[in-house]
Amino acid sequence: MNKRTTLHALAAVTLATATLFGMTGAQAQASNVNLGVAIPAATHSFTAGIVFWANQAKKDLEAAHPGMKVTVKTASGAPEQANQLQDLMTATKINTLVIFPFESAALTKPVAQVKAKGVYVTVVDRGLTDTSAQDAYMSGDNTAFGRIPAEYIAKALGGKGNIVALRGIPTTIDNERMDAFNAVMKAHPDIKLLDAKPGNWNRDDAFKVMQDFLTRFKQIDAVWAADDDMAIGVLKAIEQAKRTDIKLVFGGAGAKGMIKTLMDGSNPLIQANVSYSPKFMYDAIKMTAEARLKNEKLPPTTIIPSVLITKETAKNFYFPDSPF
């Protein structure tokens, strides 16, 4: 028996065994994909969207590919997520991982350890500090996410005024956004960035940060709150302080409540937004699973464009049934 005949015989035995146990060839192939998904818990509306889309991907993939296993884990912090990676490796025995890191630096080594065990790794959104720890990366356009608000604010202020900024959780994407924002502002020397502090993409934290800004600075013309949840906290602080100097609050990511406000024109401080949908979590899981079914690899980097959302275009970004 030559080598080719032996391989055909082995394939026939494998298929016969699968059929004996009620599995088709496609099902047997799907059973080779054991995919773990590690994401932040729904601590705010954007991550609620991430959790929603991850579970939707699990449902759709397991229905479309009987035999495929998708395990979704949510974590409330970086240490918990690192522990979950160990559990996915040792107990669940995954061979594929799609991870939305809670933090970049803290998760880089744990993810690298998973990849070193032969697991295929797709990182989503919050990138790692060492890209050799991943096979593929998918994200929205974080440079545009910082650049677009900066350009809009600079134009709205006529190139002159005082602004403050609220950053997110310390991650590579937060750095990308802030760097892009600052790069635009360098061309507008008459706009002064009074301070930029982390609001952690959380409305309560942003409320406290904005209260501090309002106490310290008597004239603020515009606020960049780099997330719609933070923008809600900022608006609440402004309202409570009864400040009338602020002309514009620019959030981001296109949360349905903020888009509805933009459409209705119900708050004059909300004049524009920038797209960044959590649905990319669904796309990343689905694309990774289907690539592994074919024993293929994804492109090293996939970037989903972020665009300006105005009152005129807001209806195209309004999804009332979404959790975000």
Could you read off the pLDDT of 95-112 as tens digits, one per residue? Answer: 999 999 999 999 999 999
Q: Quick one: average pLDDT of 278-301?
A: 95
**The two structure tokens encoding residue 295:** 């024993």
Residue 256 amino acid letter: K
pLDDT in tens, 16-39: 434 434 444 555 566 789 999 999
State mean pLDDT over 120-129: 94
11: pLDDT strictly greater than 80: no
Could you tell me if 44 and 200 are in contact, meaning their C-beta atoms sit under 8 angstroms apart? no
First-residue to last-residue Cα distance in the chain: 60
User: By the 8 A CB rule, do 217 and 237 touch?
Assistant: no
Topology given in CATH for the domain delimited by 3-140+278-304: Rossmann fold (3.40.50)
Instruction: Return the percentage of the chain with pLDDT > 90, whole number.
Output: 82
Residue 322 has a pLDDT of 78
Average pLDDT score over residue span 155-165: 98
Q: Which of 67, 65, 44, 42 is nearest to 54 (CA)?
A: 42
Distance CA 36, CA 29 (A): 17
Which 8-state DSSP code applies to residue 129?
Answer: S
The CATH T-level fold of domain 142-277+311-317 is Rossmann fold (3.40.50)
Q: Taking residues 30-52, what's their average pLDDT?
A: 90
Residue 244 in 3-state DSSP?
coil
Q: Output the average pLDDT for the chain.
A: 90
Q: Which residues pair with 299 in a beta bridge?
A: none
Q: What is the pLDDT of residue 323?
A: 79
The pTM of this model reads 0.75
- Count CB-CB contacts under 10 A for residue 162: 17
How far apart (Å, rounded) are the C-alpha atoms in residues 121 and 97?
Answer: 5
Element (H, E) at 137: strand 136-140
Contact 45, 228 (CB under 8 A): yes
Beta carbons within 10 angstroms of residue 170's beta carbon: 14
Mean pLDDT to the nearest integer, 199-221:
97
Backbone angles phi, psi at 319, to 5 degrees: -125, 90
Judged against a pLDDT cut of 60, whether residue 301 lies above it is answered with: yes
Nearest 5°: the CA angle 104, 177, 305 is: 100
Give the mean model confidence (pLDDT) for residues 72-78: 97
Question: How distant is the alpha carbon of residue 61 from its chain centre?
Answer: 20
Q: Find residue 248's DSSP bridge partners.
A: 222
Residue 143: the pLDDT is 96
State the Cα–Cα distance between residues 146 and 287, nearest whole angstrom. Answer: 27
Q: What is the mean pLDDT of residues 169-190?
A: 95
Quote the pLDDT of residue 170: 87
User: Where does the chain hold its CATH 3.40.50.2300 domain(s)?
Assistant: 3-140+278-304, 142-277+311-317
- Give the pLDDT score at 27: 53
Q: What is the pLDDT of residue 324?
A: 84
Q: Are 74 and 37 in contact (CB under 8 A)?
A: no
Query: Which range is least confidently modeled, 12-21, 44-53, 191-200, 240-249?
Result: 12-21
Block residue for tokens 């609220």 = 166
pLDDT at 30: 66
Q: Are residues 58 and 285 in contact, defined by beta-carbon separation less than 8 angstroms?
A: yes
